[in-house]
Amino acid sequence: MEAGRQRLDKWLWFARFAKTRTLAARLVSDGHVRLNGARTEAPAKAVCLGDIVTVAAAHGTAVVRIVALGERRGPAPEARGLYEPLSGPDGDPA
């Protein structure tokens, strides 16, 4: 992967949108993730800073802007530093 880019499934796992990397990949391949407004089914799709990710999971929908690429799956406060929320908890714009 190029510098400044990261696999989508790996980023979702680092950002704690999925408990395991396998579940993150399944979330993408099942069509529950949009990248910059376009549906993607490729877990290996590269993401970079500034990309908009929409995750439609069972617990709700989140729209976030990537502000950092992860290096590990750390604690929740560290994970929250990887993105900027663009919608509230109920899906309304923040």
**Sign for the pseudo-dihedral over CA of 12, 15, 18, 20:** positive
pLDDT at 88: 58
Beta bridge partners of 65: 52, 84
Q: What is the pLDDT along the chain (94 residues), one digit of tens a residue?
A: 567 899 999 999 999 999 999 999 999 999 999 999 999 999 999 999 999 999 997 778 999 999 999 999 999 999 999 999 997 555 544 4
Would you give the DSSP letter of residue 78? H
pLDDT at 3: 75
Burial class for 29, CB neighbours closer than 10 Å (0-12, 13-18, 19+): middle
pLDDT at 94: 46
Burial class for 15, CB neighbours closer than 10 Å (0-12, 13-18, 19+): buried
The tokens of 25 are what? Answer: 């990949």
- Closest by alpha carbon to 25, among 49, 8, 46? 8
Domain residue extents for the chain = 6-85
The structural architecture, per CATH, of the domain 6-85 is Roll (3.10)
Global pTM?
0.88
- Token pair 């990248």: residue: 35
